[in-house]
Chains A and B, each alone.
Chain A
Amino acid sequence: MDWQGQKQAELWMQILLLVFSVGALATGYIIGSFRMMILIYAGGVVFTTLVTVPNWPFFNRHLLKWLDPSEAEKHPKPQKAVVSKDKKKSSKKRELDQNHPTVNGMEVPA
């Protein structure tokens, strides 16, 4: 089922159930039969299930148009620049050295 089909299936499911429930309630009240109301509504639920739950062909009229694989290869996905771990570490260390002069690893007061 495509995107449009899913939207239509949900919409039709809601419309059909509401219409059947109103019809069942009105009929049952007018002829004074609770059983008739339940029977009509049960029939409506079965009908709605048959219409909106299976993947019918009319829910697949708006298929997505995917690009051809060869077309996709001409436009490669941009790659993220990879920064090496060693470089990062050494630059950090140099920064530390500049701010806090040390002798044998111990900090020297300025």
Chain B
Amino acid sequence: MHSFGYRANALLTYALTILALMCTIASLSDNFNFPSPSAEIQVLNFNWFQKQPDGNDEVSFTMNITADLQSLFTWNTKQLFIFVAAEYETPQNSLNQVSLWDAIIPAKEHAKFWFQIANKYRFTDQGSNLRGKEFNLTLHWHVMPKTGKMLADKLVMSGFRLPEEYR
């Protein structure tokens, strides 16, 4: 500590060590947040349902997505990434997931929303297994923190069924 440079160096390293510690504590403080998110998705209309020339089934429908994810936000949350996936079972695969819609929620004020939209991404099966298929719509979310671990969770909404015939 005898010279200007030594003192500046000691202060900088000590300050950065404490900053790392503060960020760790901020990250750990997220464990005291017990979120209670809610979401509901309704399928309003099947717009079209067809077999593509290569034999794969493709369907388009309009959804009504209502969600309140405000409780996921803490002081250490930067943003939320959310997506809706259709999940169903086929003889080849026990779990098929097709992403239909996604969004980035940058602030708590935008975390309570209502959307009425057609699927943003194509709902295409690898084969023709979709006729009369029962499927789940799952709302997944990834909580991106300012510091620390990224958290992910989901809400599963079941009981949807595709039409028996192409239209």
Contacts and interface: CB of A to CB of B under 8 A. Distances in A.
The answer to whether A and B come from one shared complex is yes
Interface residues of B, number: 20
Nearest to A7: B1
A34 B146 contact: yes
Interface residues of A, number: 26
Interface of B: 1-2, 4, 7-8, 10-11, 14-15, 18-19, 21-22, 25-26, 29, 74-76, 146
What does DSSP make chain A's interface, helix, strand, loop or mixed? helix
Interface of A: 1, 6-7, 9-10, 13-14, 17-18, 21, 24-25, 28-29, 32-34, 37, 41, 45, 48-49, 52-55
Contacts of B75: 28-29, 32-34
What does DSSP make chain B's interface, helix, strand, loop or mixed? helix
Q: Which 4 A-B pairs have the closest CB atoms?
A: A6-B1, A32-B75, A53-B7, A21-B18
5 contacts: A9-B1, A17-B15, A25-B22, A25-B25, A34-B26
Contacts of A37: 22, 26
A10 B22 contact: no
